[in-house]
Structure 1
Amino acid sequence: MTDTASTEQTGPAPGPSAPAPGTAGLPGQGSRPPQPPGPCPPGFLERLGSAAFARVNEVREWHELPLPLGLLNLRVLRDDLRRKNLYDTYGAGGERRRRATSTLLPYRSYDGSGYDPYDEDMGRVGTRLDRNAPLDLVFPEGDEALMSPSPREISRQLLARRGFVPAPTLNLLAAAWIQFENHGWANHGDNEEAEPFTVPLAEDDDWAEHGGTCPMRINRTRPDPVAHTAADAPPTYENTVTHWWDGSQIYGSDEERCRALRTGEGGRLIVEDGRLPADPRPGKECLDWTGMNSDYWAGLSLLHTLFAKEHNAICDFLRSHRPTWDDERLFHTARLVNTALMAKIHTVEWTPGILDTPVLHHAMNANWYGVLPRWVSKTFGRIGTGEMLSGILGSPTDHHAAPFSMTEEFVSAYRLHPLIPDELTVRDHRAGAVRTTIGFDEMQGRATRSSVDEFGMSDLFYTFGTSHPGALVL
């Protein structure tokens, strides 16, 4: 992603192999550390477009406009979000000491550091999630205020499933896909068990009858382990994975985990008899050994295994053409290719599938390829330095109003439970015949690997491809 996640910018983040213009004076090259370019103020046409579409959107949304106007509307909205909806939780005073990257490596680092020429720690695992809302508006309410109206009653009245509503334009792989991608972008870590929220229950609530406590107790989000230096700053939270779009859900967010997933030969990941190995940690043997396996279920197992195999296929192809490359170079190059593949799928296939409008189809393809016909880029290469004509890939690095990170609001937008079905009808991939029907509990958590072993990846992929997720409705 090329920006903080407020706008769902698609395309891989410019990595250290594509530094911003004007970075020739990096440390170690005989000059003082460079300063990042500040955000450019909007020009007259940008301000005019913003004002005009603000009036238009009072009566018609972007997806209701004719295609050319809809595309222009999305461009204006994206520019507005880049200027007005990116807030650094470290504060303008530089609470986090920023240091220039001494050596820009031509591949993804293990912990997400060293991607930006001006800020070595930007997006690194262990740095904070930022905000899309101004920081003075994100102070939490007290516990008493949070319980009015009751979160439990909101859940019961608006979110509780009273019947499965399928999304007929999607298959179940789309539901697994977004969780797979999210696990590579952001995670708060394990919730705090001390001082949980206590949620009172209505008299007719059946929570206790199903084994729940009364009142309901909800663990708090793990707080930022680094104390604030500013007394007037709102609470912040740490990302326990890299912020970047770098496939960390497969490769891990630290070197130790990553090397434990590799064979050490030919750049390959460990895949045994067509499957990822079992997690070697005590109590985790029911899960796959991969970069991130929290909230794991059969859908995630399919995709983690598939892209581990894809990584190995890329390694084999590279080695056939570059026999002198060692394990490390093969691994890092294959990771770049695999990550770009995932980013492209998300940009030009998943997102237009979820938001299925003509405007979005054209807009997401323009994000990747630019608005010019593809033959232009194939014939002449990139046209111009910006992203509009030839797409985000290869455009200059620009973090706009704040250093790159995932944001709390972006994470909050993904509430995936409506997508997950109550049960799955498993079908034979050769004839399409029904094998059996299982509940969701029979394919998640402790049952994950056993369910994949029982039904096999071929039948499960066919089943997921011919089953619908739930519609995103109340």
Structure 2
Amino acid sequence: MNSYNFILRLFVYVVVVCPVIVCAHAQTEKSFVSLDHAHTHNKIPPCATCPRHGRCVPKVQCPAHLRPGSYNPLCELDGAVGVCCFTGLGHAAESDHISRSSASISAEDIKSSHSLSEKKLAHCMSKANKLLEHSAYTVLNTTHPSYGHHLSVATLDKRAATLGRGGLLNLFAAQELKARQAISDEDLELGLTGHTDSPYCPPQPTCTAPSRYRSVGGECNNPLHSTWGAVHTGYERLLPPDYSDGTWAMRTAMSGLPLPSARTVSSTLLLDGTFPSRTHNLMFMQFGQFIAHDTSAGVVFTNNQDEAISCCFNNGEDILSPELQHFACAPITVAPDDQFFGTFGHKCINFVRTQIAPADDCTVGYAKQMNGATHYPDLSHLYGSSQQKLSSLRAADALLKTFNDYGRELPPLTKRKECMTVKEGAACFESGDHHGNQIISLTVLHTIFTREHNRIARALYKINPFWDEDRVFWETRRILQAVYQHIIYNEWLPSLLGPQILKTFGLYPSAGYSSAYDPHVNPALSAEFSTAAMRFGHSVVDGRVMIPSPKMGGVYETISIPEVMFQPSRMRLRHFLDRLLIGLTTQPMQTVDPFVTEGLTRYMFHGGNPYGVDLASVNIQRGRDHGVRSYNHYRQLIGLPPYLEFQHFAPSAAQRLAQVYERPEDIDLWVGGLLEEPVDGGLVGPTFANIIADQFNRLKRGDRYFYEHGPDVNPGGFTPSQLEEIKKVTLSRLICDNNDGIELTSQPPNAFLRADLPGNEPVPCDSPRILSMDLNLFREN
């Protein structure tokens, strides 16, 4: 056979006999940073099967496909187009790993970086101590609206401060090694610093034999990585961060100039408007916040006496001078002619940065912000994230503590003075995360889940009278966590993401046990999910909550949202709980769009003040604090072309965008995501939908205790019949079983859809359309 015939035969074999090898190559012309060209692919059809044992995944789950020289052919993925991935969620492409040598850093550089890091931390702490001498300026006044925001992002867990200082030590060491050119910008960006050593290594948990029950702090879930998903660990990233210094300094515009003030962006783009959803109700919004609080709680810096830091002079008149600013200050500038805050002479909105978490593998790198909650959907805001907190919430007989308000069980009262109403008889409640009083509709959900725990515990005691108190408590917690996860994946996510996204990411509940567990998947929340995508919910908040009067008909009262923030005393009114539950399922939420109620942008946490905090400004600034890249980068990540001209946006948005941003490449992720049209059958646009779907996919695949995983994976796995009972439960069932029964006797079958939607009209709570779980299946023979 001559060489020509051999080559011809080989070509025919490759193209005809084995066509799956010849498929589209997802080649990009830019790095994570450059946006000079649109992301393009050639037109070869997607692979049916990935070559080289690659895994076909949604593009958002293979960030390396954006790297120059990456090899990621397109592939068929459940009715969508994915990419063949060979690098997992890592940011570096195969070519990046090949080009890197295993060069180590000299012992002298390591020693010097450690020494200088300790000196820099000592200097920061010393300066912070000196600021205490000027506490009138540097400590936040407890009557100021920003103090209410501080309560939402603070932690009372003393472990956070120690870990936070360790995180700073490692960050400062990385900065010193970078200055010495011992590690490069690209090494930092791509996480290729595994050969480095850090001055602080966080203590590792002690994990013994697999427990039947999920740990309180999220540790020991993964046998190979004991801290994955645990409290006080860092947020991960879909893309490398955009810090102006490569390690922690906040993002700048593409031109190198400062980005527009977050308040300027908010006041120009995110206007007040009312566009009610035609399908979804306020309960959908409120349950979203319940999920967000359970899985994400950024922990901000406090001063050396654990007090709230002030970055503004005289409660907002101006920005504090540099010598009086804490190193964690990043105040938001307010223009003198601001239509609202300018009225009060305010030029500053207080903003404190999030604490840094040390890497669990004891390496140095760019800043990763600390999550003060477990990353898993495990009801940590009900049970706490530490044994100490859990113990303080437990009562006798395997119950959770409650406040008996003349026969009605409410969450236990707290001794902390965090609520704005302090008069005699006013109620302020305890929760596992200290945020249960943030808004009264959130307090209602804490009440429902507290009561459900106690309802299940009492039933299990009767079914299994030989169980001791501890066994009943932990079994109840295990069941309720499973019910909660099922509501998320069976009811809430389908309403949010639509059928195609759920199918592509494998988020539908399984017919029986799930086979999705992968011990190599880190379930940790991404910074993009926490600071942007999951905050879509702030757009759907209605500024007013209608409290109906079922017996009299009509509306009993209309409550402005800011009036019930950290003011939950209405819970003591005998008819209020039932009425609010009816109102939440009846009243439409707002649509996901660039409109945010002024209750959140002007009056949040206002207390007795005529002004409050602008939550939209805080969201934008928090994204920059976490180093989240601009909106265009995430469009490219999911396979969409970047917007290179403002005219690519809808005309109504393009003009306002051009007023505040220099270039489309500067647009913040949260802002850009709100401007997108929703995906088919969903509520959010494609960028947010992909980020959220990716997160809940990893929370399913990377959680050994996920409710659908069988006993071969989950040490506390349910039997098939028990799992079948759990999958009968809906949020409507929980509401039916745990309301006061004074005025609420019926409930729409789908608690997240408007009660006036055809087919979702309220039915009696004993209707077969609202199934109950038979706890007799949990009887131990």
> 1:310 is matched with which residue?
452
> 1:131 is matched with which residue?
237
CA contact (8 A) 2:55 2:84 kept: no
2:547 partner amino acid: V
SS in 2 for 1:438: strand
Q: C-alpha separation between the residues in 1 aligned to 2:449 and 2:191? A: 34
C-alpha deviation, 1:143, in angstroms: 7.4
C-alpha deviation, 1:359, in angstroms: 2.4
**Structure 1 position 73 matched with structure 2 position 73:** no
Q: C-alpha separation between the residues in 2 aligned to 1:179 and 1:141? A: 29
SS in 2 for 1:187: coil
> 1:341 is matched with which residue?
483
C-alpha deviation, 1:176, in angstroms: 0.9
CA contact (8 A) 2:402 2:409 kept: no
Q: C-alpha separation between the residues in 1 aligned to 2:369 and 2:213? A: 28
What are the within-5 Å matches in structure 2 for residues 39-438 of structure 1?
43-44=51-52, 46=54, 71-73=78-80, 76=82, 83-84=89-90, 92-93=194-195, 101-134=207-240, 139-142=247-250, 147-161=258-272, 163-192=273-302, 193=309, 194-195=326-327, 196-211=329-344, 213-214=346-347, 216-224=348-356, 226=358, 233-270=365-402, 272=404, 273-284=408-419, 286-294=427-435, 296-355=438-497, 357-360=498-501, 367-370=507-510, 374=511, 377=512, 382=513, 391=514, 395-400=516-521, 403-412=522-531, 413-415=533-535, 416-430=537-551, 432-438=553-559
SS in 2 for 1:128: coil
- Distance change (3 Å), C-alpha of 1:346 and 1:113: same
Q: Which runs of 5+ in 1 are unaligned?
A: 1-41, 55-68, 383-390
CA contact (8 A) 1:442 1:448 kept: no
2:264 partner amino acid: E
CA contact (8 A) 1:197 1:217 kept: no
SS in 1 for 2:434: coil
C-alpha deviation, 1:48, in angstroms: 7.1
SS in 2 for 1:170: strand
Q: C-alpha separation between the residues in 2 aligned to 1:219 and 1:332? A: 39
> 1:448 is matched with which residue?
568
C-alpha deviation, 1:226, in angstroms: 4.9
- Distance change (3 Å), C-alpha of 1:409 and 1:80: farther
C-alpha deviation, 1:429, in angstroms: 3.6
Quote the RMSD (CA, aligned, Å): 3.7
Between stretches 175-184 and 91-100, larger displacement belongs to 91-100
Q: C-alpha separation between the residues in 2 aligned to 1:437 and 1:326? A: 47
Q: C-alpha separation between the residues in 2 aligned to 1:408 and 1:169? A: 30
SS in 2 for 1:369: coil
TM-score, structure 2 normalization? 0.45
- Distance change (3 Å), C-alpha of 1:342 and 1:148: same
Between stretches 123-132 and 278-287, larger displacement belongs to 278-287
SS in 2 for 1:345: helix
SS in 2 for 1:167: strand
CA contact (8 A) 2:547 2:583 kept: yes
Q: C-alpha separation between the residues in 2 aligned to 1:458 and 1:327? A: 31
What are the within-5 Å matches in structure 2 for residues 24-43 of structure 1?
43=51
C-alpha deviation, 1:147, in angstroms: 3.8
- Distance change (3 Å), C-alpha of 1:291 and 1:228: closer
SS in 2 for 1:424: strand
- Distance change (3 Å), C-alpha of 1:457 and 1:405: same
Q: C-alpha separation between the residues in 2 aligned to 1:423 and 1:459? A: 15
Q: Residues 107-155 of structure 1, C-alpha deviation per residue, up to 9 Å, x if partnerless?
A: 0222222222223333222222222213687745557757422322211
1:435 partner amino acid: Y
CA contact (8 A) 1:348 1:361 kept: no
SS in 2 for 1:263: coil
C-alpha deviation, 1:72, in angstroms: 3.8
C-alpha deviation, 1:308, in angstroms: 1.0
CA contact (8 A) 1:425 1:438 kept: yes
CA contact (8 A) 1:253 1:291 kept: yes
**Structure 1 position 466 matched with structure 2 position 586:** yes
CA contact (8 A) 1:101 1:119 kept: no
- Distance change (3 Å), C-alpha of 1:240 and 1:201: closer
Q: C-alpha separation between the residues in 1 aligned to 2:241 and 2:539? A: 30
- Distance change (3 Å), C-alpha of 1:245 and 1:226: same
CA contact (8 A) 1:101 1:118 kept: no
Q: C-alpha separation between the residues in 2 aligned to 1:135 and 1:112? A: 25
CA contact (8 A) 1:270 1:277 kept: yes
Q: C-alpha separation between the residues in 2 aligned to 1:461 and 1:176? A: 11
- Distance change (3 Å), C-alpha of 1:127 and 1:332: same
TM-score, structure 1 normalization? 0.71
CA contact (8 A) 2:238 2:526 kept: yes
Percent identical across equivalent pairs?
21
SS in 1 for 2:80: helix
Q: Residues 67-115 of structure 1, C-alpha deviation per residue, up to 9 Å, x if partnerless?
A: xx884428x4797995456999896458657677322111022222222
C-alpha deviation, 1:472, in angstroms: 1.3
Q: Which runs of 5+ in 2 are unaligned?
A: 1-49, 63-75, 93-188, 303-308, 310-325, 595-781
Larger radius of gyration: 2
* Higher relative contact order (Cα pairs below 8 Å, separated by 6+ residues): 1
- Distance change (3 Å), C-alpha of 1:444 and 1:210: farther
> 1:23 is matched with which residue?
none
Q: Residues 319-366 of structure 1, C-alpha deviation per residue, up to 9 Å, x if partnerless?
A: 2221111121111111111111111111111111123x34246568x6
Between stretches 85-94 and 264-273, larger displacement belongs to 85-94
Q: Residues 190-236 of structure 1, C-alpha deviation per residue, up to 9 Å, x if partnerless?
A: 4552353244444531343454631x233222322659999972122
> 1:388 is matched with which residue?
none
CA contact (8 A) 1:418 1:471 kept: yes
1:438 partner amino acid: I
SS in 2 for 1:152: helix
C-alpha deviation, 1:178, in angstroms: 1.1
2:432 partner amino acid: G
Q: C-alpha separation between the residues in 2 aligned to 1:141 and 1:85? A: 21
C-alpha deviation, 1:463, in angstroms: 0.5
- Distance change (3 Å), C-alpha of 1:271 and 1:336: farther
